[in-house]
Amino acid sequence: MSGISDALTSSANNLRSLNRSLGIIQSNVGNASTPGYARQDVGAALDSASAADPLQQASSRDEFAESAVYRQNSKLGQFDQLSTILATVEPNYPASGDTGIPKSISDLFATFSALSANPNDTSARQLVFDRARQVALNFNSTATSLGNALAGARQQVSASVDSINHLAGLIRDFNGSQRDSSGAVSDPNVDAKLHATIEQLSEFGNVQTLRQNDGTLTVLLDGQTPLVVGTQQYQIQVDTTSGPTVSVKDSNGGDITSQVSAGRLGGALQAVNQLLPSYQNGLDQLAQGIADAVNGALAAGVDASRAPGAALFTYTAGNAAASLAFTGITTAQVAAAAPGAPGGNGNALALSALGTSPVLNGLTFAGFYGSLSSQVGSDVASAGDNQTAQQQLLAQARAQRTASSGVSLDEEAVRLVEFQTAYQAIAKLVTVLDQLSQTTIAMIP
């Protein structure tokens, strides 16, 4: 009897095993295109009877490949965010002298030159006022656009923090499901949702994950700030009240702004706290430099009534570009003459010469504007280039993740040797082509 009983038991075990195996295959096929899903493997052969559980289910997920995807996604989020913000700023810094601030500066000093030819001509003086108004308007308009870009970027910081907190909340819930599920094996469907959510989260911040013994994932922002530990979520917050910069704080109120290195949050913080304020400072410096130089030169001359010249521009210190304005003086108050030669053009010539003098940090006004414009252009180009490179690196990391599941160590070792040989060959070819193209460029005048 025992022989028959053993045979029946064995058959029953095999059927149970086969049923479970089919279930795993069905799950793999059904979830082939589910975001975040990793293929589940059968741990032993169907006929194995020695192990207590011959069909131990195992995930083929490669955590190294996963973290590579998160890292690249996080960098892409950063440059995508930065490109989006800077794209709204760049049109305000035209590189050519035919429009915007550079044209109005050039026009203003051209009218001083015209004034020197006809120092007592009312229409020439009126033209100076028109051009001064235009300079002020252009600075005001650019400062307003920069202010709008800054406000938009600050909103992006808040939106990124909201997204991080929302997604961290979902991960906390998934962790709860993982902890509740019975047995040592994670539910592959919950695991898939969990990893898809972490990938979404990585777009907003540089996140790292640590697998705990109970199957839950601890999620850290930039390796230091816990977002989720088990079923506990730690929300981060934005602080916009601490001056012109924006800071991000952890759940204890500690400032973590300097730790945030990537993701949309990192890109927005870089724009809000570094790039846009530096553009604003440069613009303010230029507006103040022009106003001070022109007002100073006018004060050194005399007007029609031989009184010292009145100021042409007014502004508020610390906010020069946005507040720059024409003072509203009359044509008679324009100091075209030098003090020693009333009615002459001595001061108009000095005003005209300001346009080509290196009066601002060793640069002319046009030169200073050019350096501002090229800085913005360079930042935009750099963000765009890095964005493109990151798209390709992310595609590569995703392809690697797809390819890495369930590869045997022997196969991987063989591939590694093949890969190393090919890698060295290509690296050499890249170097040769680089040198060749460099030489070719040098040959073309």
Partner 1 sequence: MTSADRLDQAVEARAHVARVITLLQSPTAAALDQSSVELTAAIARMEQLQGELAGKRIACGAKPLIAALRKDLQRAGLLLRHAWELRIGRGGPLGYSRTGELVPQQAHRVRLAIEA
Residue ranges in contact with partner 1 by CB under 8 A: 64-65, 68, 71, 75, 208, 212, 218, 220, 222-226, 229-230, 259, 261-262, 382, 385-386, 388-389, 392-393, 395-397, 399-400, 403, 415-416, 418-419, 422-423, 425-427, 429-430, 432-434, 436-441, 443-445
Least separation in angstroms between CB 266 and partner 1: 10
Q: Which is nearer to partner 1, 47 or 255 (CB)?
A: 255
Q: Which is nearer to partner 1, 332 or 407 (CB)?
A: 407
Distance CA 367, CA 405 (A): 57
Q: Which is nearer to partner 1, 22 or 436 (CB)?
A: 436
Q: Which is nearer to partner 1, 247 or 387 (CB)?
A: 387
CA angle 283, 285, 290 (to 5 degrees): 100
Asked if residue 204 lies in contact with residue 264, where contact means CB atoms within 8 angstroms, the answer is yes
Which conformational region is residue 339 in: left (phi greater than 0), alpha (psi within -120 to 50 degrees), or beta?
Answer: alpha
Q: Which is nearer to partner 1, 113 or 400 (CB)?
A: 400
Least separation in angstroms between CB 409 and partner 1: 12
Distance CA 361, CA 364 (A): 8
Distance CA 185, CA 92 (A): 57
SS3 content of the chain, % helix, strand, coil (to 5): 65, 10, 25
Least separation in angstroms between CB 215 and partner 1: 13
Distance CA 139, CA 133 (A): 10
- Which two tokens mark 396? 């590569």
Q: Which is nearer to partner 1, 64 or 253 (CB)?
A: 64
Least separation in angstroms between CB 36 and partner 1: 19
Least separation in angstroms between CB 229 and partner 1: 6
Least separation in angstroms between CB 102 and partner 1: 25
Distance CA 215, CA 190 (A): 11
Q: Which is nearer to partner 1, 91 or 223 (CB)?
A: 223
DSSP E strands: which ranges in 207-362?
207-211, 217-221, 225-229, 232-233, 237-239, 247-249, 313-314, 325-326
Burial group, residue 279, by CB count within 10 angstroms (0-12, 13-18, 19+): buried
Least separation in angstroms between CB 33 and partner 1: 18
